[in-house]
Structure 1
Amino acid sequence: MGKLSGKKVFITGAEQGIGKATAKELIEAGCDVYLHYFSGEEGPKELVELANKLGQRAEYGYADLTKEEETQQCVNAAAEFLGGIDILINNVGGIIARKWLGEIDKQFWQTVIDVNMTTMLNVTQNALPYLKQAKDGASIINLASLAGRSGGHAGSLVYSMTKGAVLTWTRSLAAELGEHGIRVNAVAPGLILGTRFHNQHTTKESADETIRSIPLGRAGSSEDVARVIKFLASEYDGFVSGATIDINGGVYRM
């Protein structure tokens, strides 16, 4: 496993949940980090304070990553602050709302695609020149979901579709970028409580029912996911590429 100390990380959606926990994990591992946020500065401010206490560098910036120009400005600001990008974590995404097939209109369809896929395209395209320049190789980690594996619960049709696409995006990108020394992998979390996603879109009754089906007998935490992302981030000089690691307590086994 590669050493993370001094590595330059750009992570999207770092204001709460998995993004914030991952940024904390990487800061504590010795990385310098640029934190993208879309809704709320409180989390990024805490992370910058943590980095400062540890004698490291961290900064944050706002962008609507569905917009190409704002994305370009944010990625360039990150690369300028960090002096390059070694590790990219595409964490932004969301279900937006639960809608069944008969309720899906074209605007909702496009919004979910934009939030989960267009953001990833915009960020990765703009970060690519910097990742190619990483002297020891680079690492990209994409956030997929158990829903992309299993199809998700009823009402998550469009979200599940996009997360399935992230799995294919990851495999295809690994083939395309390997010649540049860039590894591309994904994580597919299952039920991760304490995140905005589940706070807004999962009832306690639904969570309890899901937990009963999980072999480990509990829901996951953001920290469970962050530790796996940390491993994949460290593989900037490794041989793991095109893989998806499932983080679901054994409910989905492949």
Structure 2
Amino acid sequence: MTQLLENKTALITGGGVGIGREIALQFADSGARIAVTYRTHAPDDDFVNRIEAATGSPLVAVGLEATDEGAVQAAFATINRDLGGLDILVNNVGGLVQRSSIGEMSFELWRTVMATNLDSTFLATHYAMPFIRDGGRIINVASLAGINGAHSGATAYAASKAAMFGFTRGLAKEVAPRNITVNALAPGFIEATPFHDTFTTAESKRVTLSTIPLQRAGIPADVAGPALWLASELSAFVTGTTVNINGGAYFA
């Protein structure tokens, strides 16, 4: 049986852990050859072995500071050399960085949050564009925070993720003549990720779970499934759209 991503090449930024890791694994299981970038979470042996067993090809893994333009340009040249072009780009790099009210936040911290989430998306997309084949897919991993404003101390994070929705819509129109689709994912509360391991207290988790109609937290696989759909031909007429993944906590 033909796999959904057979003969496709996919790059997942921040692909060594959490949501990015699960997307990479599901894409590999669906036939795609995989490249990932990472900064603090290098791919572990289990991840590498699972990717290579599924694809029969070496995993391309590139250490990268995703907000450094020169480093991004060099990384994408390496990835293109190793993969021979791209069909799918998943912009997954991002993070809260630090909780802070706007009144107390330094301009340096504000710019760091924007760079981590928005600049990284621009740079990866900009340097991927010459290598993405016509008919390709771009998927931006945003957040429910960009819709509901997030929790206390995360206004900058929410603003950066909201900007990703506008980036997604504008780019979708820009690259439509090449039959490239551009969509966003907006995960809600997803456990087993560095974000919540670092920034979410047990009490905050309890309160959040009480607002989710499906009565559970999400897991990275809950995000990887919609990503796989957006990466495949099953979603060929879907572009400029945000897919909400939150167990019913928010309805568009």
When the two structures are superposed, what TM-score results if normalisation uses the length of structure 1? 0.95
1:20 paired with 2:21, answer yes
Deviation at 1:237, TM superposition (A): 7.4
Q: Which residue pairs with 1:178 in the alignment?
A: 176
- Quickly say closer, same or farther: Cα 1:99–1:59, change in 2 above 3 A: same
- Quickly say closer, same or farther: Cα 1:237–1:209, change in 2 above 3 A: closer
Q: Distance in 1 between matches of 2:3 and 2:102?
A: 45
Q: Say which SS state the counterpart of residue 232 (structure 2) adopts.
A: helix
Q: Which residue pairs with 2:69 in the alignment?
A: 68
Q: Distance in 2 between matches of 1:231 and 1:62?
A: 27
Q: Distance in 1 between matches of 2:154 and 2:113?
A: 10
Q: Distance in 2 between matches of 1:51 and 1:108?
A: 36
Q: Which residue pairs with 2:51 in the alignment?
A: 51
Q: Is the 8 A contact 1:12 1:37 kept in 2?
A: yes
Q: Which residue pairs with 2:11 in the alignment?
A: 10
| Correspondence for 1:162 among 160, 163, 175 | 160
Q: Which residue pairs with 2:85 in the alignment?
A: 84
Deviation at 1:180, TM superposition (A): 1.4
Q: Distance in 1 between matches of 2:165 and 2:53?
A: 37
Q: Which residue pairs with 2:251 in the alignment?
A: 253
Q: Distance in 1 between matches of 2:235 and 2:142?
A: 22
User: For residue 53 of structure 2, what is the amino acid of its counterpart?
Assistant: K
Q: Which residue pairs with 1:209 in the alignment?
A: 207
User: For residue 16 of structure 2, what is the amino acid of its counterpart?
Assistant: E
Q: Which residue pairs with 1:239 in the alignment?
A: 237
Deviation at 1:247, TM superposition (A): 0.2
| Correspondence for 1:218 among 210, 216, 219 | 216
Tell me whether 226-235 or 50-59 shows the greater mean CA deviation. 50-59
When the two structures are superposed, what TM-score results if normalisation uses the length of structure 2? 0.95
Tell me whether 231-240 or 121-130 shows the greater mean CA deviation. 231-240
Q: Which residue pairs with 1:99 in the alignment?
A: 100
Deviation at 1:217, TM superposition (A): 0.4
Q: Which residue pairs with 1:146 in the alignment?
A: 144
Q: Distance in 2 between matches of 1:73 and 1:249?
A: 39
- Quickly say closer, same or farther: Cα 1:104–1:130, change in 2 above 3 A: same
Q: Is the 8 A contact 2:3 2:31 kept in 1?
A: no
Q: Distance in 1 between matches of 2:43 and 2:173?
A: 38
Q: Distance in 2 between matches of 1:236 and 1:151?
A: 31
Q: Say which SS state the counterpart of residue 48 (structure 1) adopts.
A: helix
Q: Which residue pairs with 2:34 in the alignment?
A: 33
Deviation at 1:74, TM superposition (A): 1.0
Q: Which residue pairs with 2:126 in the alignment?
A: 125
Q: Is the 8 A contact 1:92 1:119 kept in 2?
A: yes
Q: Is the 8 A contact 1:139 1:183 kept in 2?
A: yes
Q: Say which SS state the counterpart of residue 161 (structure 1) adopts.
A: helix
Deviation at 1:51, TM superposition (A): 2.7
Q: Say which SS state the counterpart of residue 103 (structure 2) adopts.
A: helix
Equivalent pairs counted in the alignment come to: 250
- Structure 2: which 5+ runs fail to align? none
Q: Distance in 2 between matches of 1:180 and 1:2?
A: 24
Q: Say which SS state the counterpart of residue 103 (structure 1) adopts.
A: coil
Write out per-residue CA displacement over residues 102-139 of structure 1, whole angstroms, 9 at most, x where no aligned residue: 111110010000000111111100000111xx25x100
Q: Distance in 1 between matches of 2:41 and 2:246?
A: 28
- Structure 1: which 5+ runs fail to align? none
Q: Distance in 1 between matches of 2:246 and 2:188?
A: 4
